[in-house]
Amino acid sequence: MSIHPSAVIAAGAIVPASCSIGPFCTIGPEVVLGDDCNLISHVVIDGRTKIGARNTFYPFSSIGVAPQDLKYHGEPTLTTIGDDNTIRECVTISRGTEKGGGHTTLGRNCLLMAYAHIGHDCHVGHQVILANSATLAGHVIIEDFATVGAFCPVHQFCNVGRYAYIGGGTIVTQDVLPFSLTSAHRENKAFRLLLAAKLNTTQALEAITQLEGEDAAELATFISKSTRGVIK
């Protein structure tokens, strides 16, 4: 096992022999690391946190730390991270809150660029990219293959659909449609019905449900489940 002598690993933490723990890393007593994880240096992993295999954590990332929520009072909530993620410098991932479901999750094969933040009770899917300083407030859902651009804050309880691409600097206060580009013209017929036709959202949804194809069906389902309304 490669553990730098300045690293602090609490009794009770599970760290496989295949892991590399660099200088000045701190691992809490309820942390479980998967095989072949690499903590480069100055990484903090705390709380009831379970991490999959082959994850790389860059300096000053803080994982499973207490949520930035005044209602949190030390409850034993969870953080779960899948396999093969790259978590760059100064990324923060907060554990869940008791009233928010108690669990923050990150899928597999994700890239979290420097200073990205995943707030409490968020659920981030697979192969997601959070660019530099993308910020997810609590209770956000990011579906698979989505990209959140640099300096994008995402409001609490918003959902971002599959394959959505949010351009840098966009303030997200409502749900983001799957397959959409937030700052580009949409070419798909379903998007034209929603965005360009003289229809309100309810009328557009009725028209979209008549279209053939799995993508149109997924778009219609996403709109119908939205509780905050969708960005148009």
What is the arithmetic mean of pLDDT over 31-41? Answer: 98
Residue 41 belongs to domain spanning: 2-166
- Kindly state whether residues 49 and 131 are assigned to the same domain: yes
Q: Which of 125, 138, 149, 161 is catalytic?
A: 138
Q: For residue 177, what are the contacts with CB-CB under 8 A and spacing of at least 6?
A: 161, 164, 191, 194, 219, 222, 223, 230, 231
For residue 8, tell me if it sits in a domain. yes
Separation CA 110–CA 115 (nearest Å): 15
Q: What is the pLDDT of residue 232?
A: 79
Q: What is the pTM of this model?
A: 0.86
Q: What is the CATH number of the domain that holds 155?
A: 2.160.10.10
- Kindly state whether residues 43 and 89 are assigned to the same domain: yes
For residue 34, tell me if it sits in a domain. yes
Yes or no: say if 208 and 223 are a contact pair by the CB < 8 Å rule.
Answer: yes
What is the arithmetic mean of pLDDT over 192-211? Answer: 84
- Kindly state whether residues 37 and 143 are assigned to the same domain: yes
> Which of 137, 138, 164 is closest to 153 using CA atoms?
137
For residue 95, tell me if it sits in a domain. yes
120 tagged catalytic: yes
4 tagged catalytic: no
Q: Which of 120, 123, 126, 139 is catalytic?
A: 120
Tokens of 101: 């479901």
- Kindly state whether residues 161 and 218 are assigned to the same domain: no
Tokens of 228: 């905050």
Separation CA 128–CA 163 (nearest Å): 9
What is the arithmetic mean of pLDDT over 201-222? Answer: 87
For residues 190 and 26, which has the higher predicted lDDT (pLDDT)? 26
Residue 98 is given by DSSP the state G
For residue 158, tell me if it sits in a domain. yes
121 tagged catalytic: yes
Query: Count of domains in the chain?
Result: 2
Taking all residues of the chain, what is their mean pLDDT, rounded to a whole number?
93
For residue 173, tell me if it sits in a domain. no
65-114 pLDDT, tens per residue?
A: 999 999 999 999 999 999 999 999 999 999 999 999 999 999 999 999 99
Q: Which of 121, 125, 149, 175 is catalytic?
A: 121
What is the arithmetic mean of pLDDT over 27-46? Answer: 98
For residue 73, tell me if it sits in a domain. yes
Yes or no: say if 99 and 117 are a contact pair by the CB < 8 Å rule.
Answer: no
